[in-house]
């Protein structure tokens, strides 16, 4: 049985980038007239937001988050 990429990745930055791209690619435009831009054409602001979201998501998936008292639970 192989281990998941999250568990075996040695390059956190690349994993976050790939997660951000994948999450962006799952989005759909709310306008019937507008097509969702591909990741490479997404504005830098939105790429940064998606990277931050991916980074936080990765922490949660790895159980590396802080509880309400500010203590690390990992």
- CA–CA separation, 71 vs 12, rounded Å? 22
| pLDDT tops 60 at residue 73 | no
The verdict on pTM exceeding 0.75 is no
- CA–CA separation, 73 vs 63, rounded Å? 7
13-47 per-position pLDDT tens digit: 999 999 999 999 888 767 666 677 889 999 999 99
């Amino acid at each position: 049985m192989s281990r998941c990429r999250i568990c075996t990745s040695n390059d956190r930055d690349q994993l976050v980038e790939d997660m951000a791209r994948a999450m962006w690619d799952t989005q759909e435009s709310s306008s019937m007239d507008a097509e969702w831009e591909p990741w490479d054409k997404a504005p830098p602001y939105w790429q940064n937001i998606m990277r931050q979201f991916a980074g936080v998501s990765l922490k949660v998936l790895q159980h590396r988050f802080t509880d309400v008292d500010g203590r690390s639970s990992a």
